[in-house]
Amino acid sequence: MYFINRIQPYHLDILKEVGNIGAGHAATALSKLLNKTIDMKVPAVRVVSFEEITELVGGSDNVVAAIFLRIEGEAPGNMFFMLPVNEATNLIRYLTGDQQFDLNSPPFQELGLSALQEVGNILAGSYLSAFSDLTKLNLQPSVPALSVDMAIAILSYGLLELSQVGDYAIVIETEILEKVDVYSQKTSGHFFLLPDPDSYEIIFRALGVSIDDGSC
């Protein structure tokens, strides 16, 4: 992916702004759905290498909760929302009120898994909607699938596709702030966008990155 060096900070700033717009929409939707006060923000958006992907989730052998979605449309690809199991457990407890739920102790209650899956669905839909509005690309998420496993096992399919184009992915850092009494509880996770090989150029062209020879 030779044009990676042509990505400028302002391109990432655009992606960050898109992420914050999507996070705002998702927070509003979740607050209404759950009748709870929820806020979200995107501290950073980066383009990361294969090695950084596994580092960001605590190492390839680290067990995580992940929501996987297939992106269809004009720039197809894969998307993962990944959380450490302890953070996912705390989020599920907040969403459901079930303080006994624990992703470290299977079997799991279906209500908790469904709640986490719905969070991923709403977040992904909000991010993709904001991204589509900016780029004018038609992007649609599939029905999300939830898995609790080692990070490398979950990422293996997406990384297999990713390796064909140069070992880079777009990561959207995501913070979910849940209001608990007079303080906020923070849940931190990562959205990994792994475009299909032909989708990279489509996405970065839409962001104004020069793909052909020449300057940006």
Residue found under tokens 């990155």: 209
Read off φ and ψ for residue 157, nearest 5 degrees. Answer: -65, -45
pTM of the model: 0.81
Is the residue at 61 inside a domain?
yes
| Total structural domains within the chain | 1
Is the residue at 163 inside a domain?
yes
Is the residue at 105 inside a domain?
yes
Is the residue at 215 inside a domain?
no
Q: d(Cα 168, Cα 161) in Å, to the nearest integer?
A: 11
Amino acid at 143: V
Output the domain CATH number for residue 136: 3.40.1550.10
Is the residue at 58 inside a domain?
yes
Is the residue at 143 inside a domain?
yes
Q: Which domain holds residue 95?
A: 2-206
Closest by CA position to 194, among listed 175, 211, 171, 215 = 171
Angle at CA of residue 122, ends 116 and 128, nearest 5°: 130
Cβ contact 85:148 at 8 Å: yes
Number of H helices, E strands in the chain: 6, 8
pLDDT in tens, the chain (216 residues): 555 666 778 778 888 888 899 889 989 988 888 788 889 889 888 888 777 887 888 887 888 999 888 899 999 988 888 898 998 998 899 888 889 999 988 888 899 999 898 888 888 888 889 989 888 999 988 888 888 888 888 877 655 555 554 567 888 898 988 776 655 778 888 888 888 878 878 887 887 776 554 444
CB neighbours of residue 184 within 10 Å? 14
